[in-house]
Amino acid sequence: MGAVGNPLTPMVQRNSAGSMASILSDPTPEQLVADLVLLLDLEHRGGDRYIGRRKKGGSGRVFGGQAIAQALVAARRSVPEDRFTHSLHAYFLRGGSEEEPIEFRVKRDLDGHSFSNRRVVASQQGKPILNLIASFQKSQEGPSHQYAAMPDVPQPEDLVPDAQIRRNLADRVEGPQRDLWLQPRPIDFRSVEPREWLNPKAREPVLHCWFRTVASLPDDQAVHRAVLAYATDFQLLGTSLLPHSLSFAQGEVKMASLDHAIWFHAPLRADDWLLYVTESPWSGLARGFARGQIFSRDGQLVASVAQEGMVRRSRRESGTS
């Protein structure tokens, strides 16, 4: 994903032959991850212009984490190899369509002694759908501390995968929601708290969830940080629903991300277990706010996240016309 070479390409080439076969049968974990890597491997169209591939089989709205990760990849392509992503801030402007590719244009705002800054505009059919600013830094030494402590929670091996829980509940939902629940995913999420997607009870707006890719990733930090960016858009905004006994799966609420920010604190591996701790300190005015901390299995804080999104009761739930 850097300015020289592309560590994604060898893995894409090795797995592209099997990608078509995965449409006809359940894909292997390796195929699922290869498809994710391919999704994040942008096509260079000259200068600082890139095209993001469509999600295989996609027919709805673009997942926000995909748009963020692809925009980050575009920004990273224009940065010297000795600089790593340390933060990004994104605003969602319009819903994207999975039936169209996404164009990414990068503006090189700064290449200083220690930091580089890039602006990215993601567009479809000439209209911007996302703006992203990313900052990159040379590796440097400085005062260091970690005040945040990793919560004491069950280990991922002792938890049921969320995918299995969705399969067990799939007969209770219909249409696109059921198809989405049954769709194999490249990331294995394992929630500590019971997932009450259909009949939620009001509770404290805090969640703990382990996650990792279902197969190994290339040994490159740019790849792992892009995959982490993709994964952080799962469950985060949903934490703001927990005190309100509302089910997104049952159509009781409409939600859409408005903005998303990530700070990367340390090297990480997205193919090893990471603990995602999310909380929602506030919601109101048709918006929900949530923030998250991501810990490696040994307790190191590797990233922090914040997001605000639109949260509205659906018309049938609120009784309005």
Catalytic pick among 35, 41, 162, 233: 233
Contact 129, 91 (CB under 8 A): no
In a domain, 145, yes or no: no
- Which 3 state secondary structure label does DSSP give 286? coil
Query: Which residue(s) pair with 311 in the sheet?
Result: 255
In a domain, 1, yes or no: no
- Give DSSP secondary structure letters for 18-73: HHTHHHHSPPPHHHHHHHHHHHTSPEE-STTEEEEPPPTT--SBPPHHHHHHHHHH
pLDDT number for residue 178? 66
**Which tokens in the block code for residue 140?**
């440097």
In a domain, 147, yes or no: no
Total tally of structural domains belonging to the chain: 1
In a domain, 72, yes or no: yes
> Could you confirm whether 188 is annotated as catalytic?
no
CATH code (residue 262): 2.40.160.210
> Could you confirm whether 257 is annotated as catalytic?
yes
pLDDT averaged per 10 residues in sequence order, the chain, 321 residues: 44 42 71 97 97 84 96 97 97 95 97 98 97 97 97 98 85 70 90 84 95 98 98 96 87 93 98 98 98 98 98 70 35
* Helix ranges, the chain (H): 8-19, 21-24, 29-39, 64-77, 162-169, 175-182, 221-231, 315-318
Structural domain span for residue 87: 8-139+156-318
In a domain, 107, yes or no: yes
In a domain, 148, yes or no: no
**Which tokens in the block code for residue 139?**
């590796």
Interval 28-47: pLDDT, tens: 999 999 999 999 999 999 99
In a domain, 146, yes or no: no
In a domain, 301, yes or no: yes
pLDDT number for residue 10? 45
> Could you confirm whether 307 is annotated as catalytic?
yes
Catalytic pick among 22, 70, 78, 257: 257
pLDDT number for residue 18? 39
